[in-house]
Protein backbone atom coordinates (compact mmCIF):
# COMPACT_ATOMS: atom_id res chain seq x y z
CA UNK A 1 0.00 0.00 0.00
CA UNK A 2 1.41 3.42 -0.97
CA UNK A 3 1.07 6.47 1.24
CA UNK A 4 1.12 9.99 -0.10
CA UNK A 5 1.23 12.94 2.28
CA UNK A 6 -0.51 15.94 0.85
CA UNK A 7 -0.30 19.51 2.12
CA UNK A 8 -3.15 22.00 1.82
CA UNK A 9 -1.91 23.58 -1.42
CA UNK A 10 -1.04 20.38 -3.31
CA UNK A 11 -4.15 18.33 -2.58
CA UNK A 12 -5.54 17.84 -6.05
CA UNK A 13 -2.39 17.88 -8.12
CA UNK A 14 -0.57 15.06 -6.31
CA UNK A 15 -3.73 13.02 -5.94
CA UNK A 16 -4.58 13.39 -9.62
CA UNK A 17 -0.98 12.54 -10.55
CA UNK A 18 -1.12 9.37 -8.52
CA UNK A 19 -4.36 8.35 -10.21
CA UNK A 20 -2.87 9.02 -13.65
CA UNK A 21 0.12 6.78 -12.88
CA UNK A 22 -2.28 3.94 -12.16
CA UNK A 23 -1.90 3.38 -8.44
CA UNK A 24 -4.73 1.09 -7.47
CA UNK A 25 -3.92 0.47 -3.84
CA UNK A 26 -3.44 4.06 -2.66
CA UNK A 27 -4.11 5.63 0.70
CA UNK A 28 -4.02 9.41 0.96
CA UNK A 29 -3.15 11.02 4.27
CA UNK A 30 -4.26 14.62 4.68
CA UNK A 31 -1.87 16.69 6.75
CA UNK A 32 -4.11 19.43 8.05
CA UNK A 33 -4.27 20.91 11.46
CA UNK A 34 -7.35 22.50 12.91
CA UNK A 35 -5.26 25.55 13.67
CA UNK A 36 -4.37 25.92 9.98
CA UNK A 37 -7.93 26.70 8.89
CA UNK A 38 -8.55 29.03 11.82
CA UNK A 39 -5.21 30.72 11.30
CA UNK A 40 -5.95 31.23 7.61
CA UNK A 41 -9.34 32.74 8.46
CA UNK A 42 -7.66 35.07 10.96
CA UNK A 43 -5.01 36.08 8.39
CA UNK A 44 -7.74 36.74 5.81
CA UNK A 45 -9.60 38.81 8.41
CA UNK A 46 -6.45 40.84 9.17
CA UNK A 47 -5.79 41.31 5.46
CA UNK A 48 -9.32 42.53 4.74
CA UNK A 49 -9.24 44.80 7.80
CA UNK A 50 -5.91 46.27 6.70
CA UNK A 51 -7.17 46.71 3.13
CA UNK A 52 -10.23 48.59 4.36
CA UNK A 53 -8.04 50.69 6.66
CA UNK A 54 -5.69 51.54 3.80
CA UNK A 55 -8.74 52.92 2.00
CA UNK A 56 -8.37 56.21 3.86
CA UNK A 57 -5.48 57.00 1.50
CA UNK A 58 -8.16 57.46 -1.18
CA UNK A 59 -9.46 60.56 0.63
CA UNK A 60 -6.08 61.75 1.87
CA UNK A 61 -5.45 64.21 -1.05
CA UNK A 62 -8.75 65.93 -0.32
CA UNK A 63 -7.87 66.20 3.36
CA UNK A 64 -4.57 67.85 2.47
CA UNK A 65 -6.40 70.32 0.22
CA UNK A 66 -8.65 71.08 3.18
CA UNK A 67 -5.59 71.57 5.39
CA UNK A 68 -4.39 74.41 3.17
CA UNK A 69 -7.72 76.23 3.50
CA UNK A 70 -7.95 76.15 7.30
CA UNK A 71 -7.14 79.00 9.62
CA UNK A 72 -3.85 78.96 11.45
CA UNK A 73 -5.48 78.05 14.77
CA UNK A 74 -7.12 74.88 13.47
CA UNK A 75 -4.39 73.98 10.97
CA UNK A 76 -1.92 72.63 13.53
CA UNK A 77 -4.38 70.20 15.10
CA UNK A 78 -5.66 69.00 11.75
CA UNK A 79 -2.10 68.53 10.44
CA UNK A 80 -1.21 66.57 13.58
CA UNK A 81 -4.20 64.27 13.06
CA UNK A 82 -3.24 63.78 9.39
CA UNK A 83 0.32 62.93 10.42
CA UNK A 84 -1.00 60.42 12.95
CA UNK A 85 -3.32 58.86 10.36
CA UNK A 86 -0.40 58.59 7.95
CA UNK A 87 1.77 56.89 10.60
CA UNK A 88 -0.97 54.40 11.41
CA UNK A 89 -1.46 53.86 7.67
CA UNK A 90 2.21 52.94 7.29
CA UNK A 91 1.86 50.22 9.90
CA UNK A 92 -1.36 49.00 8.30
CA UNK A 93 0.38 48.74 4.92
CA UNK A 94 3.10 46.62 6.56
CA UNK A 95 0.41 44.33 8.03
CA UNK A 96 -1.16 44.09 4.57
CA UNK A 97 2.22 43.13 3.09
CA UNK A 98 2.77 40.33 5.60
CA UNK A 99 -0.75 38.95 5.49
CA UNK A 100 -0.84 39.22 1.70
CA UNK A 101 2.47 37.39 1.50
CA UNK A 102 1.03 34.55 3.56
CA UNK A 103 -2.07 34.41 1.36
CA UNK A 104 0.10 34.41 -1.77
CA UNK A 105 1.84 31.27 -0.59
CA UNK A 106 -1.31 29.25 -1.34
CA UNK A 107 -2.56 31.30 -4.28
CA UNK A 108 -2.29 30.20 -7.87
CA UNK A 109 -1.26 33.55 -9.34
CA UNK A 110 1.29 34.49 -11.95
CA UNK A 111 4.66 35.90 -11.01
CA UNK A 112 3.93 39.08 -12.94
CA UNK A 113 0.76 39.70 -10.93
CA UNK A 114 2.60 39.20 -7.66
CA UNK A 115 5.47 41.43 -8.72
CA UNK A 116 3.25 44.30 -9.87
CA UNK A 117 1.13 44.25 -6.72
CA UNK A 118 4.20 44.08 -4.47
CA UNK A 119 5.83 46.99 -6.31
CA UNK A 120 2.64 49.07 -6.00
CA UNK A 121 2.38 48.35 -2.27
CA UNK A 122 6.07 49.25 -1.84
CA UNK A 123 5.44 52.53 -3.70
CA UNK A 124 2.54 53.27 -1.37
CA UNK A 125 4.71 52.60 1.66
CA UNK A 126 7.52 54.78 0.31
CA UNK A 127 5.22 57.66 -0.61
CA UNK A 128 3.56 57.66 2.80
CA UNK A 129 6.98 57.62 4.45
CA UNK A 130 8.18 60.58 2.37
CA UNK A 131 4.90 62.38 3.02
CA UNK A 132 5.42 62.05 6.79
CA UNK A 133 8.09 64.78 6.87
CA UNK A 134 5.89 67.29 5.06
CA UNK A 135 3.03 66.55 7.43
CA UNK A 136 5.29 66.93 10.48
CA UNK A 137 6.45 70.28 9.13
CA UNK A 138 2.82 71.31 8.66
CA UNK A 139 2.16 70.63 12.36
CA UNK A 140 4.86 73.22 13.13
CA UNK A 141 3.22 75.79 10.87
CA UNK A 142 5.55 75.37 7.88
CA UNK A 143 3.28 74.97 4.88
CA UNK A 144 5.92 74.90 2.10
CA UNK A 145 5.90 71.09 1.79
CA UNK A 146 2.14 70.85 1.57
CA UNK A 147 2.09 70.71 -2.24
CA UNK A 148 4.65 67.88 -2.12
CA UNK A 149 2.50 66.00 0.38
CA UNK A 150 -0.53 66.50 -1.84
CA UNK A 151 1.32 65.10 -4.88
CA UNK A 152 2.54 62.10 -2.89
CA UNK A 153 -0.96 61.45 -1.57
CA UNK A 154 -2.32 61.49 -5.14
CA UNK A 155 0.33 58.91 -6.08
CA UNK A 156 -0.82 56.81 -3.11
CA UNK A 157 -4.43 57.08 -4.23
CA UNK A 158 -3.58 56.04 -7.79
CA UNK A 159 -1.54 53.06 -6.51
CA UNK A 160 -4.43 52.07 -4.26
CA UNK A 161 -6.92 52.14 -7.13
CA UNK A 162 -4.59 50.05 -9.34
CA UNK A 163 -4.07 47.55 -6.50
CA UNK A 164 -7.84 47.25 -6.05
CA UNK A 165 -8.25 46.63 -9.78
CA UNK A 166 -5.63 43.89 -9.64
CA UNK A 167 -7.24 42.32 -6.55
CA UNK A 168 -10.63 42.20 -8.23
CA UNK A 169 -9.25 40.95 -11.58
CA UNK A 170 -6.73 38.31 -10.56
CA UNK A 171 -6.47 36.84 -14.05
CA UNK A 172 -5.03 39.95 -15.72
CA UNK A 173 -1.47 38.64 -15.83
With 0-12 / 13-18 / 19 or more C-beta atoms within 10 angstroms meaning exposed / middle / buried, residue 31 is exposed
User: Where do the H-state alpha helices sit in the chain?
Assistant: 11-20, 34-54, 60-69, 72-106, 111-139, 146-168
Q: What is the pTM of this model?
A: 0.72
Q: What is the pLDDT of residue 30?
A: 46
Q: What is the pLDDT of residue 84?
A: 94
CA dihedral sign, ordered 56, 112, 172, 15: negative
| Domains (range + CATH), the chain | 1-32 (no CATH), 35-168 (1.20.120)
Residue 7's φ and ψ, nearest 5 degrees, are -85, 175
Q: What is the pLDDT of residue 127?
A: 93
Q: What is the pLDDT of residue 10?
A: 47
Q: Can you list the residues of the chain whose pLDDT is less than 70?
A: 1-35
Q: What is the pLDDT of residue 18?
A: 52
Kindly report, residue by residue over 53-64, the tens digit of the pLDDT.
Answer: 999 999 999 999
Kindly report, residue by residue over 108-129, the tens digit of the pLDDT.
Answer: 888 888 899 999 999 999 999 9
Task: Report the 10 Å Cβ neighbour count for 17.
Answer: 12
Contact (CB, 8 A) for 31 and 5: yes
Amino acid sequence: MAYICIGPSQELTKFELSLQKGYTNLKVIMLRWEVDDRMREFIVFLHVLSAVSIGFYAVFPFLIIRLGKLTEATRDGFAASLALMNRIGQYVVIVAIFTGGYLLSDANLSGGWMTIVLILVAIMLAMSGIMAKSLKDATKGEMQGLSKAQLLSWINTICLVIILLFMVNRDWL
